[in-house]
Amino acid sequence: MTPFELANGRPMPLAADWALFLDVDGTLLDIAETPDAVEVSDHLRAVLGRVAPLLGGALALISGRPIAQLDRLFAPLSLPAAGLHGLEHRDAAGRTRTLGEPEMLDGLRTALLDFAAAHAGAMLEDKGRALALHYRRAPESEAAARELVAQVTAGRERELRVVDGKMVLEIKPRLADKGAAVELFMAEAPFAGRRPVFIGDDVTDEDAFTVVNRLGGHSIRVGELAGTSARYSLPDVEAVVDWLEAMPGALGESPEPGP
């Protein structure tokens, strides 16, 4: 299996009693120029479809994307999922609940849309319950984007949170985060009683790393370990997929038959 960088000098034992939580962009999928430009390979779908039952169904996606978008990307798979950093939650039985209302962000939309229109390459991704201002294709607008986001959220710090991601500033209600999403899954079947393992790549995943560490699980950062609370790392998306692909064999399952 792909080796981990060990922050604490100890190996991370693999076990079938894990509850595995996976970020999507930057973890399972390489980050694209725009959110709609990503593609999910049949190979990745097959890998996830094989690992999930191996863990008794205790595998969930935890993403900043809406659950409906995750379903379109990973179809025909329909996995337990937390969308919008936990504002949406679908359990293993398919029951879904949501937190917050799009109206909470109504006063911000016009200013952010105007900014995107005035800066070539900038883009506002309206997720309903969250707003993401992307400047990946307009890096020269970063300072102005930060200034605007600070202005439109001023005085609302107790109800809104600005998540500083990779070339994106996301505004969302302070009603959930990825750490709370992990805790909610860990209180329900089939995740309850298992050891939580979270793999993520961005500052938005730090809440989950903290919770997993507190629960005695394993936190894995995609990329460097500097500046993170994660205790292990994998170098890139390809390494994550390779590691997931090797998991069945590492747990003693027979290799998948060839054609």
Asked if the model's pLDDT at residue 250 lies above 80, the reply is: no
pLDDT of 251 reads 75
Neighbours of 143 (CB within 10 A): 9
Q: Specify the pLDDT at position 8.
A: 54
- Residues 144-203: pLDDT tens digits? 999 999 999 999 999 999 988 889 999 999 999 999 999 999 999 999 999 999 999 998
Segment holding 227, helix H or strand E: none
Q: What would the 3-class secondary structure string for 65-101 be?
A: CCHHHHHHHHCCCCCCEEEHHHCEEECCCCCEEECCC
Confidence of residue 1 (pLDDT cuts 50, 70, 90): very low
- pLDDT at position 52 over 50: yes
- b (16+ CB within 10 A) / e for 104-119: bbeebeeebeebbeeb
Query: What value does the mean pLDDT take over residues 237-247?
Result: 92
Chain position carrying tokens 């039985």: 93
Contacts by 120-129, CB closer than 8 A, 24 or more apart: 123/34, 125/35, 125/168, 127/64, 127/65, 127/66, 127/84, 128/66, 128/84, 128/102, 129/84, 129/87, 129/88, 129/98, 129/99, 129/100, 129/101, 129/102, 129/104, 129/105, 129/172, 129/173
* Global pTM value: 0.88
Enumerate helices (H) and strands (E) in the chain, giving the number of each. Answer: 7, 13
Catalytic residue, from 17, 23, 71, 202: name it: 23
State yes or no: is 23 an active-site residue: yes
State yes or no: pLDDT of 34 exceeds 70: yes
**What pLDDT is attached to residue 113?**
96
Lowest mean pLDDT among 4-8, 120-124, 126-130: 4-8
- Range(s) within the chain of domains with CATH label 3.40.50.1000: 5-99+176-250
- Report the distance separating Cα 157 and Cα 241, nearest Å: 37
Instruction: List, by residue range, all CATH 3.30.70.1020 domains of the chain.
Output: 102-173
Q: What is the mean pLDDT of residues 54-60?
A: 96
CA 91 to chain centre: 16
Higher-pLDDT residue of 254 and 176 is 176
**pLDDT-based confidence at 4, cuts 50/70/90?**
low
Residue 81 is predicted with a pLDDT of 98
Return the structure tokens found at 75: 């179809």
pLDDT above 90: percentage of residues in the chain? 78
Instruction: Place domain 102-173 in its CATH homologous superfamily.
Output: Trehalose-6-phosphate phosphatase related protein; domain 2 (3.30.70.1020)
**Residue 255: its pLDDT value, please?**
46
- Which pLDDT value is given to residue 12? 65
pLDDT of residue 11: 57
For the domain 5-99+176-250, what is the CATH code? 3.40.50.1000
